[in-house]
Each structure stands twice: as C-alpha cells, then as structure tokens.
Structure 1
Amino acid sequence: MTDRGEIAIVPWPGRGPSAEDGLSGLLAAYHLRTEEEKGEAVPDVGALPDRYRAEVLDPRTAFANDAVLVALSGAEAVGCLVVTAPFEERSEVKRLWTAPSFRGRGVASELIGAALARCAQDGVSTVGLSVWKWRTDAVALYERLGFAVTESWDERGDLVCMERAV
C-alpha cells in the first residue's frame, strides 16, 4: 500500500465492498466517457459494448489474471488502474481513471508509480500502454513519468502506444 496524504493506493480486492462498488463506478465512468469521446456516446452501462460492460459489472472475473490498484480517499474509491499479468517480461497499464473531483492531486501519478513498483516486483522489464490521441493531458502525464511513444501494436488509428523500462 502507498499512502500519499489523504490518498491510499491499495491492491484490489481486499478493502471490502465499498472499494469493489467504487471500482465498478470508476470503470463505468471511464468507459462511458471514452465512448462519448469516440463519438459513440451511450446512455448507461447497459448500452456499453459487451466487453466493457463485463468489466463494470464483474471486475473480479474480467481482471482475474491482472492486478487492479484502487486509490482510496477514506473509504471512497477515487481512482483505478489495471496492470495486465506479465507475459515475456512485459505488462500493460490500462483503465487509468481518476474521479474528476480528485484530478490535479497526483492520484494518477501515484497509481502509475504503484503499478511500476508492482511490475518491478513481478520481474517485468517493460510496461506498455495505449491512450486515445485526444487525451493530450494523459499523454503529457505519461511522458513526464518516462513513457515514450513507440510503434503501434493496435489497429485503431486513434491510439498512441507508449512504453517505458521498469
């Protein structure tokens, strides 16, 4: 666990039902906002594509092989991040989301730092991620944290692929 003032970064599951419910809420906000930004806004979780709806409704199953980190302010989940299970000394960071009211407080940086520490413990040598090109603040954050743009491994042209050594 990492503690930064009022924010604690904890592995999930493990902090009781409030963190679990909060994780689903954060994932819902992430996916609904992403669909809106892609020009494919949906009214609610039930209208998300199957894969994303499954993450929101049952994160325990969706991320069974991955590490999920949750940022807590007291008992409230205010940020999340998923680190994929290592494969050939490589992991991927995905689903980084901070509740809008907690942005600008270093939550995302703390989540990424905790993810990188976990990757180092797991013997990962490289961490990759992909981010929508219009999320310029996120791209800038990743660059400040040592990620560099790399050749895309994804077919979707609006994604920027980045990686860094652990």
Structure 2
Amino acid sequence: MNDQNALRILRLPGAEVSAAHGLTALLRAYHLRTEEEKGRAVTRQEDLPERYLSEIRSPATAFAGDLVLLALDDETAVGCAILTAPDGDGRSEIKRLWVGPAFRGGGVASGLLREALAAAEGNSARAVRLSVWNWRAGAIALYVRHGFAAVESWEDRRELVCMERRPGSAS
C-alpha cells in the first residue's frame, strides 16, 4: 500500500458481491493458505473442500444474508471480512478476515475489524464472535487488542479458538 490515506473500506450486502469486486481472489488465497497451514498443501482451487469452493464460486450466494467488507487500495481489493447478521441470540460473527500478504502490517486488518464492529453495533448485535486457528498468534493478538476474549468453544475442531466481544469492550 503506497499511502494509508488511499485505503477505504467498502460495505456491500453479500447478495450484491460480484467478481468485479475482487472478493473471489481474496477468498481463494485465504482458503489455500489455511489448508496449507493445516498441513494439507493444496495448490489448486479445485482441490479445496466443497464448502470452501462454494464460497469462491459464488460469494453472492454464500454470503447472501451477510455484510461483505472489502479493503481497497485505490480500486484493488487487498483485504476482506464477512459479518453475519445477528442470529436468534443476537450474536453476529466475523468470518474470513484476510489481508493479502503484501498489505499486512499497515492497519488493514484493524480497519476491517473496526468497520465490522461498527456495523454489528448498528445492527444491535449483543455480541460479536469469531473463531481463529490456534496457530495464528498474530491474529489472536489483534483480536484481543480489539476487545475479544476467548470463550467456550462452539466448534468441534480442536484447533479453533472461539472468541467473543461484547458491546463496550475496548477497541
């Protein structure tokens, strides 16, 4: 990123996301990297699990009821996050927070998180939750800085750390 001031975050209803927005490439990179970190080096998109392929093939369908946040450097998508609508218990979830490696360390992830938290507050979510792989220490530290705390897991995958942030937590 050449200039911090060039960064902007675009909010899109998930159903309105198109290939032109750049989300597909970010999701592909996210899922390929995650599979690599799990020890399943997958080099081709087609070899990803179907649940991830469906997001890449049709993000508008996969995230139809969600809010898609795209960090743009000029007109190039360099990061993303998905915020789900509050569930029956009033919780929203942040998913797929990803920043391209060339754009890390410049506040892009923090900007996406702040935008997601503001949107959740605007939707009257009583809490925002997320899950993160336990080996992603930098991401966990980022979430803690933004007021998230580890909670009892709602996931059956042992390597996932479940975290939650309630309104009014430090940001």
TM-score scaled by structure 1?
0.93
Give the match for residue 104 of structure 2: 103
Give the match for residue 65 of structure 1: 65
SS at match of 1:60: helix
Give 1:16 shift: 7.1
Q: Which whole-Å CA distance do the structure 1 matches of 2:115 and 2:43 have between them?
A: 33
Q: Which whole-Å CA distance do the structure 1 matches of 2:77 and 2:120 have between them?
A: 22
Unaligned runs of 5+ in 2: none
Give the match for residue 7 of structure 1: 7
Question: Which amino acid in structure 2 is aligned with residue 73 of structure 1?
Answer: D
- Count how many residue pairs are aligned between Structure 1 and Structure 2: 161
Are 1:157 and 2:169 an aligned pair? no
| Contact persistence 1:18–1:75 (CA under 8 A) | no
User: Aligned Cα RMSD in Å?
Assistant: 1.4
Alignment of 1:128-139 (within 5 A): 128-139=129-140
Question: Which amino acid in structure 2 is aligned with residue 103 of structure 1?
Answer: R
Q: Which whole-Å CA distance do the structure 1 matches of 2:55 and 2:135 have between them?
A: 23
Alignment of 1:119-130 (within 5 A): 119-130=120-131
| Contact persistence 1:32–1:45 (CA under 8 A) | yes
Percent identity over the alignment?
53
Q: 1:16 to 1:47 in 2, by over 3 A?
A: closer
Q: Which whole-Å CA distance do the structure 2 matches of 1:66 and 1:15 have between them?
A: 11
Q: Which whole-Å CA distance do the structure 1 matches of 2:49 and 2:18 have between them?
A: 28
- Structure 1's consecutive aligned runs of 4 or more residues displaced over 4 angstroms after TM superposition are 13-17
Unaligned runs of 5+ in 1: none
Give the match for residue 18 of structure 1: 20
TM-score scaled by structure 2?
0.90
Question: Which amino acid in structure 2 is aligned with residue 152 of structure 1?
Answer: S
Question: Which amino acid in structure 2 is aligned with residue 114 of structure 1?
Answer: E
Q: 1:125 to 1:45 in 2, by over 3 A?
A: same
Give 1:61 shift: 0.4
Question: Which amino acid in structure 2 is aligned with residue 37 of structure 1?
Answer: E
Q: 1:123 to 1:44 in 2, by over 3 A?
A: same
Give the match for residue 41 of structure 2: 41
Q: Which whole-Å CA distance do the structure 1 matches of 2:115 and 2:25 have between them?
A: 21
Give the match for residue 74 of structure 2: 74
Give the match for residue 117 of structure 1: 118
Deviations 1:62-91 (A, max 9, x none): 000111100001110000000112112111
